[in-house]
Chain A
């Protein structure tokens, strides 16, 4: 295909991505360096027979002309990045100086919205991703050894937690773990503690969200590994068996190496998807105990007065996080493509 034909075939999709992904990206970067204009105030001393008062009024005309002359807002450089709601350099430095111990420092960081969200997001990514791979693998091995008819049924039901809208899925579980719901009241019976509530403490909320994450994503890993199991070379398995390998050894030395590239694929997709964790926090109303980077962006935009500059700043920081997360993959692809280097 020559360049010209390629261009015309690729033009519509490129246009869509440039206009609605690339341009918004540049726009959020620019927003993150600008703050909205403050209203121009007029201060006048008004005197009447009872004395003089200083009165402050908003100069609408001047405000409007300022907005027109600088539509992006006031240039503030890295001021929004370093404020308390984002990287909070001053606060962090203060905490570091007055820290009594390292854990004490971490817990005081937890009072800063950005670091709090970062803490949960990273914990979620680090805990959920390996658990999803592990459970997906176990489910795949178990289902693969079932009878043919049962396999289809299991695939059908396993797809449900993954396909279902994340907000809807988390709401369903939220109602079940409610103190009056079946799981919530069941747990109360189990631990003989009528005040037990999964929503009350930070630790339990985090566990709930992580369990939800594994429940939601394990099917994906399962399906991928299950498909991989269908192509395990029979001859290798047989010769391993003849050589006296136990079932466990067969899995460890034949099946898992065969699935290794799939593990990398699932890990990549899961890292990307878990890093954007957001809907379960809304669904479980968990914002008092757990916030994520996506959630604080949403929270800024969802305000009565949309805090676009603040949201844009967090967005830029989140995107930097995504790129760092993807860097190993990108470097590997780069090396594969430029083997001479």
Chain B
């Protein structure tokens, strides 16, 4: 409080507000610009002559009689079957988050309650695994997946994403469980519970804030993945991000850039909502590892 009571000089105040405004524009403007532009025709979205056309939609009006059009969305979602990619993403994300939380909760809890040396080394191994770029593993997946005939399927990709997710989720849940006092489950075990019963009856009811945060980050990893999904999924099982990448090749040449723009905006909306509703959990998750040091 006291430090804020001393007034800042006007110049400094101006500098701070100017900088914050600049960052605000840098961070938010590209998204709003593209969202607005996704309802225009290509000549408005890319309006070299007069940039105000992108806002007013002069060419869009000339073509459709209105300054907004859903043509890009119609083309992407129906003609190019983006809905299929959307539902694939939903399936992949749902099962990845569910599985990865289930097994990482058990593992993270065990790591936080085991005082043995190997639990430390397991965490270090997880850190090294976390550092590996996922794409370096992909060429190792392909030969067995071809041999067992499971390449291209959603379940295969889900399992791979779960595994790639584990190191990070494990770390996060480990540090979360360390904040839950050991006495809680120890006293349950004194009363005659087994370790698993103590986990079920004492820890599960209080673990949800940490699990939700870890779930958000597993979701983001699965949702944002490009390297693994693009190579491991067949054409009809593609999720949104590889689908958008494939739009780049096909629609650009056919003059349907607006399909890609509409698809990109469609992929952003769920993330927008996620940040809107879970801002607090995201921030606490980002700082969880850091605060522990």
Residues on A lying within 8 angstroms of B by beta carbon are 1, 3, 5-6, 9-10, 12-14, 16-17, 19-21, 23-28, 31, 138-139, 142-143, 145-146, 150, 152, 154-161, 163-168, 171-173, 175-176, 178-182, 185-186, 215, 219-220, 223-224, 227-228, 234, 237-238, 241, 247, 261-262, 265-266, 269, 272, 275-276, 278-279, 282, 285, 293-294, 297-298, 300-302, 306, 308, 311-312, 315-316, 318-319, 322-323, 325-326, 329-330, 333, 337
Contact = CB atoms under 8 A, between A and B. Distances in A.
A24 B284 CA distance: 33
B132 A319 contact: yes
Contacts of B133: 275-276, 278, 293-294, 318, 322
Contacts of B16: 142, 145-146
B90 interface: no
A171 B243 CA distance: 13
Nearest to B15: A142
B109 A9 contact: yes
A181 B46 contact: yes
Interface size on B, as a range, is: 35 or more
Contacts of B143: 27, 31, 308
Contacts of A143: 20
Tell me the dominant secondary structure on chain B's binding face: helix
Given A21-B163, A160-B272, A265 B290 contact: yes
B3 A234 contact: yes
A157 B142 contact: no
Contact of B279 (A156, A185, A326, A329): A156
Kindly list the 9 A-B residue pairs having the minimum CB-CB distance in the complex, ordered from nearest.
A24-B140, A20-B163, A9-B110, A276-B133, A13-B107, A180-B46, A315-B136, A27-B140, A12-B103
Nearest to B128: A326
B259 interface: no
Contacts of B129: 17, 21
Interface stretch (B64-72, B80-88, B206-214, B218-226): B218-226
Contact of B293 (A5, A13, A265, A285): A265
A139 B20 CA distance: 7
Interface in B117-161: 119-120, 122, 124, 126-144, 159-160
Interface of B: 2-3, 6, 8, 12, 16, 19-20, 23-24, 26-28, 30-31, 33-34, 45-48, 51, 54, 102-104, 106-107, 109-111, 113-116, 119-120, 122, 124, 126-144, 159-160, 162-164, 166-167, 170, 195-196, 199, 220, 223-224, 226-227, 230-231, 241, 244-245, 248, 257, 260-261, 264, 267-268, 271-272, 274-276, 279, 282-283, 286-287, 289-291, 293
B46 A1 contact: no
A139 B23 contact: yes
Contacts of A325: 131
Contact of B139 (A154, A158, A262, A297): A297
A333 B124 contact: yes
10 contacts: A9-B110, A13-B170, A16-B166, A25-B132, A163-B220, A163-B271, A166-B226, A227-B291, A241-B3, A294-B227
Contacts of A178: 46
B51 A159 contact: no
Contacts of A293: 133
Contact of A180 (B48, B116, B132): B48
A224 B275 contact: no
A326 B264 contact: no
A1 B195 contact: yes
Contacts of A262: 290
A163 B226 contact: no
A318 B260 CA distance: 32
Contact of B164 (A6, A20, A241): A20
B8 A326 contact: no
A241 B3 CA distance: 9
Given A165-B241, A227-B291, A298-B135, A176 B30 contact: yes
B223 to A, nearest CB: 7
A20 B232 CA distance: 13
Nearest to A12: B103
Contacts of B271: 160, 163-165
Contacts of A315: 135-137, 139-140
A171 B107 contact: no
B290 A224 contact: yes
A182 B33 contact: yes
Contact of A154 (B20, B109, B124, B223): B20
Contact of A223 (B138, B163, B287): B287
A294 to B, nearest CB: 5
Contacts of B109: 9
Contacts of A145: 8, 16
A40 B200 CA distance: 61
A219 B45 CA distance: 27
Contact of A186 (B51, B106, B119, B144): B51
Contacts of B224: 165-166
Contacts of B127: 326, 329
A326 B131 contact: yes
A157 B27 contact: yes
A323 B133 CA distance: 11
A25 B137 contact: yes
A238 B271 CA distance: 41
